[in-house]
Amino acid sequence: MADPILVEVTRGPLVESTHAGLLAITDADGRRVAAFGDVERPTFPRSSAKLIQALPLVESGAADKLGLTVEELAIAGASHNGEQAHCDTAHAMLRKAGLDTDALECGVHWPERADDVARLNRAGAEPNALHNNCSGKHAGFLCVACEMGVDHHGYVGPDHPVQREVTAALEGLTDTKLDEHVRGIDGCSIPTFAIPLDRLARAFARLGTGERLAPVRAAAAKRLREAAAAAPFMVAGTGRFCTEVMGRFGTRAYVKTGAEGVFCASFPEIGLGVTLKVDDGGTRASEALMAAVIHRFVAKDDEERAFLDRWAHHALLNRRGLKVGEVRVADDVVAALGR
Amino acid sequence: MADPILVEVTRGPLVESTHAGLLAITDADGRRVAAFGDVERPTFPRSSAKLIQALPLVESGAADKLGLTVEELAIAGASHNGEQAHCDTAHAMLRKAGLDTDALECGVHWPERADDVARLNRAGAEPNALHNNCSGKHAGFLCVACEMGVDHHGYVGPDHPVQREVTAALEGLTDTKLDEHVRGIDGCSIPTFAIPLDRLARAFARLGTGERLAPVRAAAAKRLREAAAAAPFMVAGTGRFCTEVMGRFGTRAYVKTGAEGVFCASFPEIGLGVTLKVDDGGTRASEALMAAVIHRFVAKDDEERAFLDRWAHHALLNRRGLKVGEVRVADDVVAALGR
């Protein structure tokens, strides 16, 4: 059966485009609070699972031994814009591990924002691996390799000791066996594993509450969530949804986007985890839908709801700034989520 | 009923994302050769209808009176990259009409390619309206206003004489009444009208064959198609699908992309018109699907088929250039199109 339409894009009087997808909301035991579509379908979490991928950095003791700051812990779980402060922070982590930019195996791409691209161009410079949105996560992997005393070269490979730790964390949190049959390669060259969507929701409920986690893991998860809440700029950057949500909701809503329309969230106060996947990979839809979910489960006052409404029903502007339509969560989805 | 999945995106051993949509292929009388999904659904053609929007430029006599070149006729129906030659060509059209860049009402955006962005940045310059992908089309509108002897200000409005001509051409070609009930505003501020997808296919069959068209219109369509085939760089630019297809197939395949996953085509030799719409607006899917359609109906030798296969099943590379997956037209769609 086809997945339900979750988000609509209007133009003038008509719906011009639609985004179908999956949404799962569960508690730490996997009990479903909401489910749209086939939420047992294996889904690559991509960057939405970066909090999990950063757990070994804290659990191994590397974060303490290297004296990582709150900003550095936040960027270890980031998909950042490649703004100057992001590059500087990832670079500082590498230096603490006794390494430099050339140790990064994430690849290179231009920064996200036109301003940062212009700054590089005007200086006659090219981007480097620090500008890669995953550079903080990779700096964290290198810190773990340093702490483990293993050769860091090839740390992105599935059989490298660092990735084995990361995979074990994912397996434990999701109660799912992960092997090469469900393994792909992520944009930044590390493995990504397809996991049933509702099991990812369960993992994020656990990360928020500590339920069903060993004390060391529960403490590491709390520390990483608190770092993201304290330094939300580091998790994404100027104007980005994750940064704006965590800047406003603090530890009440941990949220993290991923490529191909995936989004994960943890709402610690109410013990719920959320994962969603837009079938076509569209970020405009994943952000709108996550805003609607936070609106329903976390927002407490009119100002918070108004902020989320601007993301859940946001204006589509044309090249002259005229409002020509809207990206909006479908009415029946909002109704099914309840009030 | 949900639209069929037309294109899949794989990562490693799994399908990670999917694109559903509509595809209609008809002759000039509207007889269907292929139809996927609800092809009678009104769809905004967006920029895929630029050939139709350029008809008044030729039919009015403006193109002849102003001595427009083949390149200028091609860019009048373009969604270009904003490369230097595109800007220069659109600018030359404006000068022929006695106008300059400030007459353009399309709005401003950065050029498509990183190289062209860098060139502007290094010169300390900002983009202007000539860089807008629609600047050639708008220069054409201004030439029509000049020829009609009407005030060009507000030429983007639905009641301006230029847009009335454009709307009349769309109505005639698609046998469809167009009014404010199906009208939206396009990215470049002109009206866009939702039209049943299969009627757009009919229009493109007519544009390719001249069937059911008045001689003046048939000649104008032929001249614009031939201009696109002779100067395909002007229609899109470096590395773009439309440019590569027309550069290779010449007048055998007129193709034109549009925003939100729309694509139109005309195959004059076999008398068919094609329109497709990817529900979520994804261009990676619309290009792959159009490549598969050309492969089926137009390609004549192995080299042409190999070229199209690279678009219909194209590798997904990560940030280090590793192949991590594939964008591919779904097997059952290829099978249904036939050989």
ipTM: 0.96
Q: Which residue of A has its CA nearest to B327?
A: A280
Q: What is the mean pLDDT of chain A?
A: 97
Residues of A whose CB is below 8 A from B185: 11-12, 318, 322, 324
Please report, for residues B61, B69, B222, the alpha-carbon distance to residue B230 in angstroms, rounded to integers and kept in the order given: 21, 11, 12
Average pLDDT estimate for B217-241: 98
Phi first, then psi: give them for residue B226, nearest 5 degrees.
-65, -35
Of B12, B189, B318, the CB nearest to A322: B189
Query: Token pair for residue A9?
Result: 């894009």
- Shortest distance between the Cα of A64 and any Cα of chain B, in A, equals 31
Residues A117, B121: C-beta atoms closer than 8 Å? yes
Average pLDDT estimate for B243-270: 98
Q: What is the pLDDT of residues A64-104, one digit of tens each?
A: 999 999 999 999 999 999 999 999 999 999 999 999 999 99
Number of structural domains chain A divides into: 1
Residues of B whose CB is below 8 A from A179: none
Q: What is the pLDDT of residues B89-143, one digit of tens each?
A: 999 999 999 999 999 999 999 999 999 999 999 999 999 999 999 999 999 999 9
Measured CA to CA, the distance from residue B284 to residue B8 in angstroms comes to 10
Residues A122, B124: C-beta atoms closer than 8 Å? yes
- Shortest distance between the Cα of A137 and any Cα of chain B, in A, equals 15
B219 interface with A at CB cutoff 8 Å: no
Average pLDDT estimate for B277-295: 98
Measured CA to CA, the distance from residue A215 to residue B298 in angstroms comes to 65
Q: Are A162 and A153 in contact (CB under 8 A)?
A: no
Q: Which residue of A has its CA nearest to B132?
A: A319
Kindly tell me if the per-residue pLDDT of B5 is higher than 90. Answer: yes
Domain range holding A191? 5-338
- Quickly count: other Cβ atoms within 10 Å of residue B215's Cβ: 8
**pLDDT, position A339:** 72
Kindly tell me if the per-residue pLDDT of B66 is higher than 80. Answer: yes
Kindly tell me if the per-residue pLDDT of A187 is higher than 80. Answer: yes
Kindly tell me if the per-residue pLDDT of A138 is higher than 80. Answer: yes
Please report which helix (H) or strand (E) contains residue A262, including its range: strand A262-267
Torsion sign over Cα B194, B196, B201, B203: negative
Residues A318, B185: C-beta atoms closer than 8 Å? yes
Q: Which residue of B has its CA nearest to A194?
A: B14
Measured CA to CA, the distance from residue A197 to residue A48 in angstroms comes to 12
Average pLDDT estimate for A100-122: 96
Question: Which residues between 265 and 294 in chain A have a beta carbon less than 8 angstroms from any beta carbon of chain B?
Answer: 278-282, 285
Question: Which residues between 21 and 80 in chain B have a beta carbon less than 8 angstroms from any beta carbon of chain A?
Answer: 42, 44
Residues B107, A14: C-beta atoms closer than 8 Å? no
Largest CA distance in chain A: 62
- Shortest distance between the Cα of B299 and any Cα of chain A, in A, equals 29
Q: Any idea which residue has 């139709």 for tokens?
A: B52
Residues of A whose CB is below 8 A from B42: 14
Please report, for residues B29, B175, B204, B253, B315, the alpha-carbon distance to residue B199 in angstroms, rounded to integers and kept in the order given: 10, 7, 9, 19, 33
Q: Three-class SS string for chain B? A: CCCCEEEEEEECCEEEEEEEEEEEEECCCCCEEEEECCCCCEECCHHHHHHHHCHHHHHCCHHHHCCCCHHHHHHCCCCCCCCHHHHHHHHHHHHHCCCCHHHCCCCCCCCCCHHHHHHHHHCCCCCCHHHCCCHHHHHHHHHHHHHHCCCCCCCCCCCCHHHHHHHHHHHHHHCCCCCHHHEEECCCCCEEECEEHHHHHHHHHHHHHCCCCCHHHHHHHHHHHHHHHHCHHHHCCCCCHHHHHHHHHHHHCEEEEECCCEEEEEEHHHCEEEEEEECCCCHHHHHHHHHHHHHHHCCCCHHHHHHHHHHHEEEEECCCCCEEEEEEECHHHHHHHCC
Q: Which residue of A has its CA nearest to B194?
A: A14
- Shortest distance between the Cα of A300 and any Cα of chain B, in A, equals 32
Residues of B whose CB is below 8 A from A319: 106-109, 132, 187-189
Provide the pLDDT confidence category of residue B339 given band limits of 50, 70 and 90: confident
Q: Which residue of A has its CA nearest to B134?
A: A319
Query: Token pair for residue B145?
Result: 């206003």
Kindly tell me if the per-residue pLDDT of A51 is higher than 80. Answer: yes
Residues of B whose CB is below 8 A from A262: none
Residues A260, B44: C-beta atoms closer than 8 Å? no
- Shortest distance between the Cα of B246 and any Cα of chain A, in A, equals 28
Q: Are A38 and A198 in contact (CB under 8 A)?
A: no
Residues counted in chain A: 339
Please report, for residues A1, A302, B53, B169, the alpha-carbon distance to residue B75 in angstroms, rounded to integers and kept in the order given: 44, 50, 12, 19
Residues B187, A19: C-beta atoms closer than 8 Å? no
Residues A16/A21/A25/A31 CA torsion (nearest 10 deg): 140
Question: Which residues between 155 and 214 in chain A have a beta carbon less than 8 angstroms from any beta carbon of chain B?
Answer: 181-189, 192, 194
Kindly tell me if the per-residue pLDDT of A188 is higher than 90. Answer: yes
User: Hey, what amino acid is at B289?
Assistant: L
Phi first, then psi: give them for residue A145, nearest 5 degrees.
-60, -45
Query: Token pair for residue A131?
Result: 């500008």
**pLDDT, position B1:** 73
Please report which helix (H) or strand (E) contains residue A32, including its range: strand A32-36
The terminus-to-terminus CA distance of chain A in angstroms comes to 28
Kindly tell me if the per-residue pLDDT of B300 is higher than 90. Answer: yes
Average pLDDT estimate for A140-148: 98
Residues of B whose CB is below 8 A from A324: 184-187
Q: Which residue of A has its CA nearest to B7?
A: A280
Average pLDDT estimate for B3-12: 97
Question: Which CATH number characterizes residue A220's domain?
Answer: 3.40.710
Of B192, B280, B322, the CB nearest to A185: B322
Residues of A whose CB is below 8 A from B321: 107
| Phi-psi region at A271: left, alpha or beta (left = phi > 0; alpha = psi -120 to 50) | left
- Give percent of chain B above pLDDT 70: 100
- Shortest distance between the Cα of A176 and any Cα of chain B, in A, equals 17
Q: Any idea which residue has 């293993």 for tokens?
A: A150
User: Hey, what amino acid is at A247?
Assistant: G
Kindly tell me if the per-residue pLDDT of A50 is higher than 90. Answer: yes
Residues B282, A281: C-beta atoms closer than 8 Å? yes
